[in-house]
Amino acid sequence: MTMQNLTERVLLVTLPAAVPRSRELEVVVHTVGPVPKRDIIVNFALADTLPSTTLCCLIILHRRLTAAGRQLILCSVPGAIRTFFRRVGLQGLFRFATDTAAALESLNEKGDIGEPSRSQR
């Protein structure tokens, strides 16, 4: 898993190809704390599975971000994982984007993505 600051207010989390049973996304939950100050984009481009621990962390992130007035967007979600979200009734809970650029554009339309980080300039 990698984390990258896209802007001062947007964190990009890219899940690995084989999400291990270890709770990697829990690192993100702890990093953002109880009152997140950034929107988060979770990139599934490399992921091929969705372990239950990852799903639980996504729900926790969604709740914390929503309570803080921030957003969670899932992007590049493979068809099988997207089908899973539909089957368990979570399709409506999360926002989805086709890729990172579309997710960032969606936040840009809200007008609250901040300035690009130094690495993005």
Q: Confirm if 44 and 74 have CB atoms less than 8 A apart.
A: yes
Tell me how far apart the alpha carbons of residues 6 and 49 are, in angstroms, rounded to a whole number: 25
For position 19, what pLDDT does the model report? 61
Summarize pLDDT for 39-92 with one digit per residue, the tens.
Answer: 999 999 999 888 888 999 999 999 999 999 999 999 999 999 999 999 999 999
Confidence of residue 118 (pLDDT cuts 50, 70, 90): very low
What value does the mean pLDDT take over residues 97-113?
85
Task: Determine the topology of domain 2-101 in CATH.
Answer: Transcription Regulator spoIIAA (3.30.750)
Residues counted in the chain: 121
Task: Compute the radius of gyration of the chain from its Cα atoms.
Answer: 13
Confidence of residue 110 (pLDDT cuts 50, 70, 90): low
Summarize pLDDT for 4-51 with one digit per residue, the tens.
Answer: 999 999 999 999 887 665 567 888 998 888 889 999 999 999 998 888
Whether the predicted pLDDT of 121 surpasses 90: no
Domain boundaries, the chain: 2-101
Looking at the chain, list the stretches that DSSP marks H as alpha helix, in order from N- to C-terminal side: 24-32, 52-67, 79-87, 100-110
Q: What is the pTM of this model?
A: 0.85
